[in-house]
Structure 1
Amino acid sequence: MRRFPNVAAIIAIIFVLAIVSACSNTNGNSNSSVPSDKPSNSDPKPSNSDPKPTEETPAPVDPASLKGEIVWNTPWSQYFPEQHKNLIADFNKVYPNIKVTLNIEPIEVLLAANTPPDLALNFALSIQQVEDGLLEDLTPYVKADPSMNLDSFMEGPINSYKMNGGLYGMPWFADGYFPLAYNKKILEQLGITEIPEIKNLTDLGEFFKKFWTLNNGSYDFVGEDPAYGTFGLSTALYNYAFLNGADSTTFYNPETKKVGFNDPKIVGALEWMIDFNKQHIDKKARDALFAQVPEGVHPFKAGKQAVGFFVMSSAADFAQSPDVDLGLAPMPTEMLRSGGIGVSMLKMSKNKEIAWTFLKWLTATEEGANSLGTHFNFFSAKKEYSWLKDTASKDPIAQSYGDALARAGKPTPTLPVNSAPVLAELVDKVYSGEVSPKQYLDHVTKVLQQQVDEYYAQKK
């Protein structure tokens, strides 16, 4: 296994710490000032066509007059400390008297101690988070704010935080999983002058195996290992299952409330992933190659990995290496999955007005979007902003990732229960061969279906 820190670790932490409703035994009372026009579930979703409040538009508020402190729970801050510092500094240029404190503790620990954060990074909105009352519905805030226009967001990211007629988070950044990154220097050594057209898993496997060739018992470089991927088995499974004909409702159909992880399309994808790992990868030789890479440096950046799927900021970092001549190739639209991360306000927040001020700046303003692009090199979920136009449009890396984002139409599967522990339970046995992919996915389906049934039975 890889021994270097990378974005996989970050995403894993976020996923594990994603807000789960099991932690939310609270009535959510607060003494903060909150807009009073709370909508019912039948209220229309806000957009630029929604009528504004009938009251006279309030006079603009001097940003310097807003004072207070909020806590933002974001595990990312331990991996991107300077980026967060610079982003908050940009916010304080506009709102000098609002202090934003970063927190990385597990959300369940904070809730159990009755010290909830005001805002929290939310990897994926879940039914439990909403139905158990953990999160604040932002609909009234949007309706009461003349400057807010939800149509300014990309449709996929903003819709991922809508549920039951409410809005339970704001999308912060968006991405599409992913163009294929490749090192032209390695491909030239192999006489590969172009990336072949990829139509299915067979095509992808034929291409990937070119980079797993032993030379006197060792690897000079390696390729992508589909069984692990950049972000672990579950994320890789979604992507490869999509290429194999699945979509989000194949995994879980919210209309029928049926779990389908053992669907043949998903089983076939996992079998392909595991078979590739067993047939083409010498783990001892791979680990020996990775041992040559300096600590903290990704093998791709060190010129030891030929191809792979990475977030845009990693690709941009790799491109600076003298050992890399970066190329990016588009993947089939069928494989591309829309993704990203948002930020939610907790119902228990004691500083909701100030929390909304920061949340709006972070996700919905030109300044916030530009700050994200400048310091993190990520796409905002907003459709238009100057960094995207002036910087990203001139950057071939950003252009490639922007193309993937524009074409990514399949959302990440969302269940009303936390699937992560169930997916992780037998993963090691799948890798070792003790459990077949079909047995593993049958188990995942059975357990998750039981949890879903129990969840809805409790709601009756």
Structure 2
Amino acid sequence: MKKNFLKKLAAGFLTSILLVGTIGCSNASDSANSNSSKNGKVELKIGTWAGAQELKEFQAIVDKLNKESKDYHLTIQSIPADYYKKIQTMAAAKQAPDLFWLSQEYIPMYAELGVIAPLDDYIKGNPKVNLNDYFEGPLQVGKVNGKLYGLPWINQPVMLYYNKTLFEKSGVELPKPDWTWEDFEKAAKALTKDTNHDGKVDQFGTVIDGWPPIATWVWTYGGEIIDKNGKVRIDEPEAIEGIKMLNKLINVDKVTPTKTQAQNTGGPEMFKTGKVAMFFGGAGDDFEKQVGNAFEIGMTKVPHAKTEATFSWIAHTVMSNNTKNKKVAAEALVDLTNAIHDWKILPPTKSDLEKVEKIRPDKKYAVDIIKESAKMARGFNNQKQQNELDNAIWQELYEPILLGKKSPEKAAKDAAEALRKILGQ
């Protein structure tokens, strides 16, 4: 789940080169997708980044839908590497798959460039779609200028994983669902130790190395980075209070390995090997399987200050604006998305949350707390320049805080100026 901001920025630049001036003026009649019929069914391609075992599981879903449908036949177009680069290239040539997956941060850009089509008219009245059943967070990121451009198939909130064995061995109180950042800080300090007495810390309370997102602190202190109206607010008092706590954990309390230490070994690996007591990971991460019997894992909600909030990794199924038969393509999109809710956790719908334990039995111990987090999980208020915005936040705020090169106030001010420049504010 961890973001690589520089790679995302490169993808954003590539998009600008390939798409601006070519996609916005396209229409269905220009499409290279003929949607030709086979046995009376409309032929549709579904683009996915799934590969290996995941692809086999996805193929089984598609095979079942093809067998049941009288209207369409789906063919998977697997792009396990350089997914967005290849999708963007195909879109520029008006050969994008009829349906494909998009992570939340790409939706505004693809929508405003005309690459993907709004779904409102095609899903209206469809008994298989209940928009009120979706959690607001995952549904909201698919909306651009009041129109819905995708249906979410996953809502994976960031959770706080912890090494229960290490906590108990150290005599530290176990994390609770109502933990504040001060509670987290206290535990992290108690669990940061030089266990072999060589003068160097070799066990840390947590790991912060560019992950989790800066919003983890900003939102829980009542702040915003960019609000729903696109206004930059990262330099407001509430946001700065969150950044101050982040800075304190890293540079004052020193409860996390340095950026270099963490990235050389890897935050998840440090948690799995008992070098880190608490880790911010996705609800669907498979730490339980990877850790095995090495230690007992616990899970709870992300700590909070003024309000409870957590970032969620959200992806949607979208429809190409160049697909010929949008009515049938939308029907397939709905069926496919609904079927994925039985496969991936967490489903973005309230009614499907009961499936979590069945889909992933290893999460049984944490099902209730995962459900609570799903209700408050959200994505960013994404903009069409989201890749540039993410990179500016990294360069002007997150990395300088990690390296102790800026105060929270200075970092917030510099980041706000950069964001406003990108957005023309």
Smaller-chain TM-score range?
A: 0.7 to 0.9
1:187: Cα distance to partner? 0.9
Separation (CA, whole Å) in 1 of partners of 2:269 and 2:385:
34
State the partner residue of 1:369. Answer: 341
1:171: Cα distance to partner? 0.8
**In the alignment, structure 1 residue 244 sits paired with structure 2 residue 221:** yes
State the partner residue of 1:258. Answer: 231
Where in structure 2 are the equivalents of 1:3-402 lying within 5 Å?
Answer: 7-8=1-2, 22=16, 23-25=19-21, 26=23, 27-31=25-29, 65-74=40-49, 77=50, 81-96=52-67, 97-103=73-79, 104-106=83-85, 107-118=87-98, 119-124=100-105, 127-143=108-124, 145-178=126-159, 180-195=160-175, 200-215=180-195, 216=197, 217-226=199-208, 228-229=210-211, 231=212, 235=213, 237-246=214-223, 250-255=224-229, 257-279=230-252, 280-281=254-255, 283=257, 287=261, 298-315=269-286, 317-318=288-289, 321-332=292-303, 334-337=307-310, 339=312, 340-349=314-323, 352=326, 355-363=329-337, 365=338, 367-372=339-344, 378-385=345-352, 387-388=355-356, 395-402=364-371
Contact kept? 1:319, 1:325, Cα under 8 Å: no
Separation (CA, whole Å) in 2 of partners of 1:277 and 1:332:
16
Residues 343-380 of structure 1: per-residue CA shift (max 9 Å, x gap): 222323456456434421232x3x332133xxxxx111
Contact kept? 1:244, 1:269, Cα under 8 Å: yes
What amino acid does structure 2 have at the position aligned with 1:421?
Answer: N
Cα distance, 1:391–1:189 mapped onto 2, change above 3 Å: same
State the partner residue of 1:458. Answer: none
Separation (CA, whole Å) in 1 of partners of 2:113 and 2:176:
48
**TM-score of the pair, normalised by structure 2:** 0.78
Separation (CA, whole Å) in 2 of partners of 1:128 and 1:9:
18
What amino acid does structure 1 have at the position aligned with 2:347?
Answer: S
What amino acid does structure 2 have at the position aligned with 1:252?
Answer: I
Contact kept? 1:70, 1:354, Cα under 8 Å: no
Separation (CA, whole Å) in 1 of partners of 2:408 and 2:46:
42
How many residue pairs get matched? 395
Separation (CA, whole Å) in 2 of partners of 1:289 and 1:12:
15
Could you tell which deviates more after superposition, 408-417 or 334-343? 408-417
Contact kept? 2:342, 2:359, Cα under 8 Å: no
Cα distance, 1:213–1:111 mapped onto 2, change above 3 Å: same
Cα distance, 1:273–1:329 mapped onto 2, change above 3 Å: same
Residues 252-290 of structure 1: per-residue CA shift (max 9 Å, x gap): 2444x5311111222232233233223325847993997
Separation (CA, whole Å) in 2 of partners of 1:89 and 1:214:
50
Separation (CA, whole Å) in 1 of partners of 2:424 and 2:271:
44
Contact kept? 2:117, 2:321, Cα under 8 Å: yes
Contact kept? 1:125, 1:160, Cα under 8 Å: no
SS at match of 1:306: strand
Could you tell which deviates more after superposition, 99-108 or 113-122? 113-122
Separation (CA, whole Å) in 2 of partners of 1:150 and 1:354:
19
1:172: Cα distance to partner? 0.9
State the partner residue of 2:35. Answer: none
SS at match of 1:440: helix
Contact kept? 1:316, 1:397, Cα under 8 Å: no
Contact kept? 2:46, 2:76, Cα under 8 Å: yes
Cα distance, 1:328–1:319 mapped onto 2, change above 3 Å: farther
Cα distance, 1:389–1:183 mapped onto 2, change above 3 Å: closer
Cα distance, 1:452–1:391 mapped onto 2, change above 3 Å: closer
Could you tell which deviates more after superposition, 427-436 or 413-422? 427-436
What amino acid does structure 2 have at the position aligned with 1:102?
Answer: S
What amino acid does structure 1 have at the position aligned with 2:203?
Answer: F
**TM-score of the pair, normalised by structure 1:** 0.73
Could you tell which deviates more after superposition, 424-433 or 263-272? 424-433
Residues 155-183 of structure 1: per-residue CA shift (max 9 Å, x gap): 332233233342111111113332x2111
Residues 87-140 of structure 1: per-residue CA shift (max 9 Å, x gap): 222221220542111222414333344443332313236555434433201112
Cα distance, 1:221–1:65 mapped onto 2, change above 3 Å: farther
Structure 2 unpaired stretches of 5+: 32-37, 68-72
SS at match of 1:28: coil
Contact kept? 1:64, 1:95, Cα under 8 Å: no
Separation (CA, whole Å) in 1 of partners of 2:241 and 2:74:
52
| Superposition CA RMSD, Å | 3.8
